[in-house]
Amino acid sequence: MNFLQWTLAVGVLLMLMAMISGLLQRLPIASSQVYLLVGLGVGPLGMHWLDLDLLAHARWVERITELAVVASLFFGGLKLRLPLLHPCWRSSYRLATLAMLLSIAGAAAVAHLLLGLSWPSSLLLAAIVAPTDPVLAGMVTVDAASDRDPVRYLLSGEAGLNDGMAFPFVTLGLLLLAGGTAHLDAWALGYLWAIPAGFAIGFLLGRGTGLLVIRLHSRFGDATAPSDFLALALMTLAYAGAEMLHALGFVAVFAAGLGLRRAELTVSRRSPLPQAQPRAPLPPPADELVNPNRVTENDLDEPAVAAGVVVAEALNFGDTLERLLEASLMILVGVVIAANWSTDGVLFAAIFFVLVRPLSVWLSLLGTATSARQRALIGWLGIRGIGSVYYLAFALGHGLGGEAARTMSALVATVIAVSVCVHGVTAQPLLKRYRRDMRRRAEPLCAAEPGRER
């Protein structure tokens, strides 16, 4: 196909998705599934318009998926507003650490005992598929800063944190495959610095820059300043700055989103808007009280209005960017799956999604305020997607080759395809029924608690 034909095909797809978006919301079908089918249709299994050799283009795929993960992590963090010591956050920390470790251990054992992979290859496969995906998790995570449903909030926190937490185990798997056991002490010491440093760098950068930009908006009455540029700047500075300091860039980008949201919260506390409920533990998000399209320069004299404009415009830009990334990358995943399919991968995915992931989540959340039903939902709604593609491409570009590379590619691609299908079909019905039951039973949300705000 030539350029004009591809342009026409893209236009038809975008028009179709714009027309059927309302229908998709009523059906147990996710947009990611539609894009996946499009990828299968244009790939080698369909019309053969597009063919992608993952091994030959690993570096290119790595960079594209890296950008997608970075954007999703930042905007995911920007939607999370509860204090970092809140019980819901502490449960998310458990999911990103204990549940992650249990998932990696369980998946590695399944890969070794059932599929016959070596222990280093099993560890690498487990680390690649263990983290939930921040790009495709939009169907199960919070969609606004005022959303405090425990299931969605915990999944959001997990999706934001566990991509960075899985990276050390990906590099460990590659290190063991290369026989580099003598460097394990350097590996461990490196990540003892990389994880906390990444979080500190991103959070301080996001909060400090956010407070400065909000103050400048308010002082100079600038209602036309491009907040999308601010979001892009924070993403790139946090990621590149952290990596240059040998910290984890994914953790830094997520923390930068949290930091910018903390700047909005700080301003909203100091000068709450008139429509905000007085003496509330947390003032409502300024971006949900302000319409950026109706704000004048005089309105920006109120710092909370400026904060609302900055965050609202950044989130609007993020929504558009994430939809574009989801569409393009899921089509590419569909093309890759056409040439990388494994029946062993289907069996591995079934055991991982039905047994390993739910059991890991259940054990990690014991003793928390979550109910048995919430733990079961969180255990099931752990979608895999673009993040796993990034880790696979990273491994292919950093030493994984030969037959092992083809086996790993087929297994990971199959796990992603199974996840997109089964989680995409079940997520909406399960969450709708759960929300109806929560309203009927008046179950508690992740409400802010006085005296525990940090």
Compute the C-alpha angle 57/59/63, nearest 5°. Answer: 120
3-state secondary structure of 130: coil
Most confident range (mean pLDDT) of 291-305, 350-364, 424-438 is: 350-364
Q: Is the model's pLDDT at 182 over the cut of 70?
A: no
| Residues 381 and 427 sit within 8 Å (Cβ to Cβ) | yes
109 within a domain of the structure (yes/no) = yes
Domain enclosing residue 107, as ranges: 32-142+152-441
In this model, does residue 404 exceed pLDDT 70?
yes
| Best CA proximity match to 105, nearest among 188, 379, 97 | 97
The percentage of residues in the chain with a pLDDT greater than 70, rounded to a whole number, is 94
pTM of the model: 0.92
CB 89 within 8 A of CB 157: yes
Residue 278 pLDDT? 57
Residue by residue, DSSP assigns 302-336 as SHHHHHHHHHHHHHHHHHHHHHHHHHHHHHHHHHH
- Does residue 15 form part of some domain? no
Distance CA 50, CA 30 (A): 23
pLDDT band for position 454 (50/70/90)?
very low
Which of 408, 392, 410 has the alpha carbon at shortest distance from 58?
Answer: 392
In a domain, 92, yes or no: yes
Mean pLDDT of the chain: 88
For residues 214-225, average pLDDT: 75
Task: Give the distance from CA 295 to its chain's centroid.
Answer: 31
Does 399 map to a domain? yes
Q: What is the mean pLDDT of residues 314-334?
A: 89
Domains held by the chain: number? 1
The CATH number covering residue 116 comes to: 1.20.1530.20
Residue 267 · residue 303 · CB < 8 Å = yes
Token pair for 26: 């009523």
At residue 424, the pLDDT reads 86
Question: Does residue 12 form part of some domain?
Answer: no
CA–CA separation, 381 vs 358, rounded Å? 9
**What was the pLDDT predicted at 184?**
84
Q: Is residue 362 part of a domain?
A: yes
Question: Can you tell me the mean pLDDT for 337-366?
Answer: 92
In a domain, 268, yes or no: yes
Report how far residue 326's alpha carbon sits from residue 323's, in angstroms, rounded to the nearest whole number.
Answer: 5
| Residue 450 pLDDT grade (very low, low, confident, very high; cuts 50, 70, 90) | very low
Separation of CA 229 from chain center: 21
Contact 122, 145 (CB under 8 A): no
Question: Which one is predicted more confidently, 300 or 311?
Answer: 311
Look at 72 and 6; give whichever has higher pLDDT: 72
With respect to residue 14, please indicate whether it lies within any of the assigned structural domains: no
Predicted confidence at residue 300, as pLDDT, reads 76
